[in-house]
Structure 1
Amino acid sequence: VPQGPRPPRRVLRAVARWTAAVLVFGAAGAGTAYGITSMERTDVPGLATEDDGRWDYPALALPALPADKPRPYSDGNPSEIHYADLRDLLLPAPAGATVDKKLKGGWVGTGQFTSEFAEGGRTGIGDTLREGTLRHIAARGWTMPDGTSNRIYLLQFSSADDADAYRDDRFIGASAGDEMRGASEMELDESWRGGQKVDSTASYVFSEPKPYGSTQVRAGYVIAGDTLALVVQSRKGGAGTPRVPFHQTLILQNQLLG
């Protein structure tokens, strides 16, 4: 029996590397829907038991694409544009979360985004966004029962090159970029092992080192085609901000952008 054509090499790489996601193809209107499984325990270092501190997220699925629109990393999409509604690509809040009234999963302005950074750097960030090709920003935030605050921002530009340009202009990757609000210093998170879970994306993950005072801040950036994601978590108290749910959240948001 003749075999069908081999899948593209990019697809083969994705299947080999996406240990936390599975693509489920099915008709959904004029587009295609994709399902995502929950994160495996081995995707975050140090997970061994059921009570490991991870959050209980709902089942995830990528929204259907508009008719005749390609996925961001397909051969017919050289600018790597996400054609799905950006708001539908935001990670939903987990069970037990109290949703931030300012960050309900809709559009926000640049002022809301820049408020995550130290006051002295906000003007420069805003100037970079205005001078670039930023299209819009979607955001969602919540607070967990243990006091951990989570904020996710998705910034969509006109192309992958423009998203890369913003990253480079703000020195993200070579350093932690602009100073975060409430954290005078950020260091590379050397415990991060989720950077190769989704093909064709890049992640840059940082945490505030001790002594971090009354609140510890963790921040992670994902570059995925035309979109830059920022995930920020913080919690007051000497115990700091838990690492496991931060890594879990960043991995799942990365998958939704893949």
Structure 2
Amino acid sequence: MTEPQSQGPQAEFPAVPAVPPGPGETAPPRDRRVLRSAGRWCTVAAVCLGLGAGTAYGITTLDRDRLPGLATGSDGRWDYPELSLPALPKGTPRPFSNQNDDGIHHADLRKLLLPAPKGARQDPKLTGDWTTPQRFASEYVKDERADIEIGLADYGLRHIAARGWTMPDGTESRVYLLRFGSAEAANDFNDETLGAAGGNAPEADLDATERFQEDHDWHGASKSYVYSYLYREQDGDGPVGSRQGYIHAGDTLAVIIQKRKNGGTAAVPFHQTAALQNQLLS
């Protein structure tokens, strides 16, 4: 089908303005009906616009989780309190600063421990205070506890601070901070005694656990001078019963252990715990 031939430029005619009624004249009855109808539609439009604006304002002022269909489901993270770094003794630099590139932590080690999340039940023996080398070594199988205690002494351990808690789902968590005399000593203890500085699994075996493997789902939250090594119990097709993590930050080594008998431990809160403890040591 061919298009019709153009007949040349078409003239553009100006719109013809309506002629208002003259003096003493009134609009015809039909015109009055049109005007009344237009007036009613203007009123309806104004009401609709007002309702729409009010609804939009109401939506913007509501919290997201109060809107039907807009609530975001939890991804499994625990509700930790807001973190803050402790004050340093007067005249001491922050770890990994220009004046402290060896990563010496001058703050109270207990203040660098990750707090327990909301809803947790505190371990009465690990309350965020100092603990002993024997208590830390008890996390591992009996045959290796003596070697761990010797390693702590040989590499110049200064302090251990620890906190433990249990979540409502039964997940047990324990976090230990071990401070040594230097970054080299902390690294050597982690590498030589625990065998947890990389590789497929730590050489020191956790008590009441099976074989471990590297946690490949962990992509790290470390700065260039903090090293994280996370492991998960080998599970085949079943739940992961235990997880362990080692964070080397200068003169301090953080050891994170999570266990759950029924249902296994979840990756998200374990990675969250490691990332937050990492931040407190950085």
TM-score interval, smaller chain: 0.7 to 0.9
Q: Does 1:137 align with 2:160?
A: yes
Q: 1:70 to 1:245 in 2, by over 3 A?
A: same
Q: TM-score, normalised by structure 1?
A: 0.77
1:50, CA displacement in angstroms?
Answer: 3.6
Bigger proportion of residues as strand: 1
Alignment equivalent of 2:81, drawn from 30, 44, 58: 58
Q: Which runs of 5+ in 1 are unaligned?
A: 1-48
Which protein has greater RCO, CA pairs closer than 8 Å, 6+ apart?
1
**What percent identity do the matched residue pairs reach?**
49
1:256 match? 280
Alignment equivalent of 2:223, drawn from 198, 202, 212: 198
Aligned with 2:74: secondary structure?
Answer: coil
Q: Which runs of 5+ in 2 are unaligned?
A: 1-71
CA distance, structure 1, for counterparts of residue 239 and residue 218 of structure 2: 24
Q: Does 1:108 align with 2:131?
A: yes
CA distance, structure 2, for counterparts of residue 206 and residue 189 of structure 1: 5
CA distance, structure 1, for counterparts of residue 105 and residue 167 of structure 2: 30
Between structure 1 and structure 2, the one with the greater Rg is 2
1:224 match? 249
Bigger proportion of residues as helix: 2
C-alpha deviations, 1:199-235, integer Å up to 9, x for none? 4100000010115999811000000000000000000
1:130, CA displacement in angstroms?
Answer: 1.2
CA distance, structure 1, for counterparts of residue 191 and residue 231 of structure 2: 16
1:207 match? 232
1:160, CA displacement in angstroms?
Answer: 0.6
CA distance, structure 1, for counterparts of residue 159 and residue 87 of structure 2: 20
CA distance, structure 2, for counterparts of residue 183 and residue 60 of structure 1: 31
1:72, CA displacement in angstroms?
Answer: 1.1
1:33 match? none
The answer to whether the Cα contact below 8 Å between 1:80 and 1:160 also exists between their aligned partners in 2 is yes
C-alpha deviations, 1:18-42, integer Å up to 9, x for none? xxxxxxxxxxxxxxxxxxxxxxxxx
1:121, CA displacement in angstroms?
Answer: 0.9
- How many residues align? The count is 208
Aligned with 1:77: secondary structure?
Answer: coil
2:260 match? 235
1:133, CA displacement in angstroms?
Answer: 0.8
Q: Does 1:119 align with 2:142?
A: yes
C-alpha deviations, 1:68-97, integer Å up to 9, x for none? 101110122243210000000000001000
CA RMSD of aligned residues (A): 1.7
The answer to whether the Cα contact below 8 Å between 1:183 and 1:212 also exists between their aligned partners in 2 is no
CA distance, structure 2, for counterparts of residue 227 and residue 155 of structure 1: 5
Q: 1:83 to 1:212 in 2, by over 3 A?
A: farther
CA distance, structure 2, for counterparts of residue 244 and residue 196 of structure 1: 13
CA distance, structure 1, for counterparts of residue 144 and residue 115 of structure 2: 29
CA distance, structure 1, for counterparts of residue 73 and residue 90 of structure 2: 41
CA distance, structure 2, for counterparts of residue 125 and residue 157 of structure 1: 14
Q: TM-score, normalised by structure 2?
A: 0.71
1:184, CA displacement in angstroms?
Answer: 2.5
CA distance, structure 2, for counterparts of residue 68 and residue 93 of structure 1: 30
